[in-house]
Structure 1
Amino acid sequence: MNLTIRSERAEDTRRIATLTGAAFEQAEHSSHTEHFIVDALRRAGQLTISLVAVENDEIVGHVAISPVTVSSGATRWYGLGPISVLPDRQGQGIGSALMKAALADLQGKGAAGCVVLGDPGYYGRFGFNSQAGLELPGVPGEYFQALSFWGDFPVGTVHYHASFDAVE
């Protein structure tokens, strides 16, 4: 696999939307609006990190990271997601490569930490775990996880940007 991870470019946006829609099309626990969310984050200037995985000039994966707010006032916290890989390329390490690159980039930007909503078995491999006192309303605690780059974990309720409510 000859995979390159790079920042998104303006000409990538349509391909990212198509890829993200396809990646979540059959996902059981999906709103099926993930591609709208990425576009809304981009329009709102909230994509802190937007990386693509490219193989043979084809975009095969994408990851987005955007700021979140914590009710305690903790700063420099971000939310990872959505992360997308073409359905026929899942399970080949592309998502892991995107995760590692995005988290390294985020840490390099001075972030305090990152939260994610998803499968604990998958995200735990990257150091994410649920934290008592840090919650996302309406979500079982084990599926809302955090990774601290330095310092203590914040306590409070996390809120994602309004773009996560995008439906078109």
Structure 2
Amino acid sequence: MTIKINKERAEHINAITLLTEAAFQHEEHSSHTEQFIVNSLRDSGQLTVSLVAIDGESVVGHVAVSPVAISSGDTEWYGLGPISVSPERQGQGIGSQMMKAALEEIQRLGAAGCVVLGNPAYYGRFGFKAHPGLILPGVPQEYFQAISFGNKVPCGDVKFHEAFDATE
């Protein structure tokens, strides 16, 4: 298996939509709207990073990164997600490769840090951890995690772009 991580191109968009839908289809803690979120982020110009994992000619993974707003006024913070891997390819390290590539890309772009909503055991492997002063309203603290690329994690409420409300 030789996976290549590339920036999204126009010819990948349909495959990303289908892949994202399939990846979250049986997820218990999912709104099952992740494919709509990715498309809405793209349509609104908020998809800062969109990387695909390619195996041969097939898109087998995708990760999206978009800006977030923090009530403290801190800037250059981003939210990672959704991240999707084709169901039959999960557990093969593709998600980890995409995570590392996405974090490297936003650092290259000058990001101060990144937040993610998800399983602490998984995202902790990449340096994410819960910070008591950084809050995503309505979400249990342990599932909302951040990684700072400097020496500071801001305090305040985090708001993802309205594209995260997309339902179609």
| TM-score, with structure 1 as normaliser | 0.99
Match of residue 9 from structure 2: 9
Residue in structure 2 matched with residue 122 of structure 1 by the alignment: 122
Alignment match, 1:98: 98
**One-letter code aligned to 2:64:** A
**1:132 offset after TM fit, Å?**
1.1
**1:47-67 Cα shifts (integer Å, max 9, x gaps):** 000000000110000000000
CA-atom RMSD in angstroms: 0.4
Matches of 1:51 and 1:159 in 2, distance apart? Answer: 23
SS of aligned partner of 2:154:
coil
In structure 1, give the amino acid aligned to 2:55: E
Unpaired runs of 5+ in structure 1?
Answer: none
Write the distance in 1 (CA, Å) between the matches of 2:18 and 2:129: 30
Tell me the alpha carbon deviations over residues 107-145 of structure 1, each in whole angstroms, 9 at most, x when there is no partner. Answer: 111100000000000000000000011000100000000
Matched letter for residue 74 of structure 1: D
Q: Please give the alpha-carbon distance, in whole angstroms, between the structure 2 residues aligned to 1:105 and 1:79.
A: 13
1:11 is displaced (CA, Å) by 1.1
Partner of 2:163: 163
Q: Which residue of 2 aligns with 1:154?
A: 154
User: Are 1:49 and 2:88 an aligned pair?
Assistant: no
Q: Is the 8 A contact 1:112 1:151 kept in 2?
A: no
Give the Cα separation in 1 of the matches to 2:115 and 2:40: 19
User: What per-residue deviation string (whole Å, max 9, x for no partner) do you get for residues 3-26 of structure 1?
Assistant: 000000011111100000000000
- Give the count of matched residue pairs: 168
Is structure 2 residue 69 aligned with structure 1 residue 34?
Answer: no
In structure 2, the partner of 1:83 is: 83
Q: Where in structure 1 do 4 or more consecutive aligned residues deviate above 4 Å?
A: none
Gaps of 5+ in 2: none
Q: TM-score, normalised by structure 2?
A: 0.99
Q: In 1, Cα distance between the equivalents of 2:3 and 2:133?
A: 38
Distance 1:95 1:152 in 2: 27
Q: Distance in 2 between matches of 1:33 and 1:126?
A: 25
